[in-house]
Structure 1
């Protein structure tokens, strides 16, 4: 079969981008898909030895290192139990299915920008037979009044913390407590989509145990924020978690061996979790410098959202096409060895693009002057900004 030229060109462009980003020595954060297989294996062997006895046997159907990870996660969140899942998509579908059976209601109230609605191909409806209602379409977490005034009954309220597609935004602690209280008033259970819950402590000024205690169940990711290979956990009461294990098996999530993902997750909990508040603080510095730099450069329109990041991730919007901004970023990585942005077409006005900026361990070495220099070098490569 003759290769499709358009597909071949797209593949080549993708390979060029990844090569440029992966080989650039200066970046604000390590990408989840960065590095090489050999590098990941060497890193897992080196770092894994600090959190687990590598002379032991691999796990079999979730014992050993996987059980240890589940117990560590439950302790960190202050829940009675936790179950490891290969994906967060599966974990949340199972959680919401279990709650639907227990509450007698197949209706889930959640934001239309939340992950199950935007990124799971309608799985809640097509696989679990659930139905969804939206308390609000505003780019923020639903308020207590919106929960109270929702005209339709629902059995479960799902809150994504932070709400990623809205800009990694969080409510205040008081607003969150009031929203949860409003759901309880309607006899609903509360499930937290906490894929990035780990980095919420700085914004709320509360420990993970206190945040998780607001909900009946919590899902957390091991590769978002923590840098693990993959995997997630569903945490909550022991009886519900045990029921979730049965559904995990039915969904095909009872894998024979999962030790690489579990081992990398333990490394993340040991090394990355304690540093997340530091990343959040530095993200606020980076966002401020970018705002000042874009204004000084005379860019006709831009947005840093939120103005002060709630987590160690935030959005940057510019009035140019994603293709030209991506080319500028790839050239900067190839020529200067610096990665500042990764762009895609924004779901907004035509001719705008949005980048999600993440500040991790590598970014802590960037002072304000470094950010200004990288921004200036990037803009110099964007047509029409010189």
Structure 2
């Protein structure tokens, strides 16, 4: 078994099979195994919106993502620690990965000031002043008790000129070393480094080399899904994952739509996260094997059929399109609950099918069927 450097007894990664660049494996943690490729539902404020924790687990999720930025502002990491840590606080006993807070600071916070030390910013909630640095990010994530901790980094929005991307990447690599030093020796917990460099192959290679020299239990491809488009993202993923160690998990941050996920796995990615299935569920957008369904559309008002007759989630097994259309139009809470459950179930079903296909050396055949099914579009109206 391939093991993390300083937690050899308790955190590890088994690469079980490959098919082309696609990989399937198992990340082992004290709180349970994570089957890869893995999709991580996003629990921003210690909850996956509209879902009970046991319902999220029932969809097949092995791990959740929590947001350092949001939790440090409310209810605060110190309060969560005093109440027994994030797992106990939100009633989730499986692994949790927390992001570093860097992306949210750049995208949400007001009046940011970036220096070598870190980022000073005003809260988007109440305007209070805060400072995030590599050391403070590590402290917050330790207080939360997350199983997988992310380095503190800076993520510039794309497009940006190469000089700006290089400057940002070099700062992130200095922060990665400080994150590693501040993380310390924590058996059973993992720290992931984050590769930066925009869409530039040479900058990505330079970043990967810096991260390998520091040494991490896993590696993320950061700085994508920030406005560059799928074609450009896939172009970067054609080389970026291969620059990272083969014997450690590779995590693509903030991705994505079903076809983004499949394309990323095809290019060697092991882990992903995105708010899309839950956010879309709350706005009436449903992902199915035949493409996207907008339940708000009037065509569903008298339709007694399920969203997908082959889906085993509660929304499809127990409710009609007509009912789901009605509760969405009526702004009933059950609408977001059922549609989010379906979307998360569908995303986890894709992951399981890919794990099986890679293990059985038929990923290309599976991928072809996946795209053909989605290209068919929704069933005909009655």
Same fold flag (TM > 0.5): no
Structure having greater relative contact order (Cα 8 Å, sep ≥ 6) = 1
Greater strand fraction, Structure 1 or Structure 2: 2
Greater helix fraction, Structure 1 or Structure 2: 1
Question: How high is the TM-score relative to the length of structure 2?
Answer: 0.29
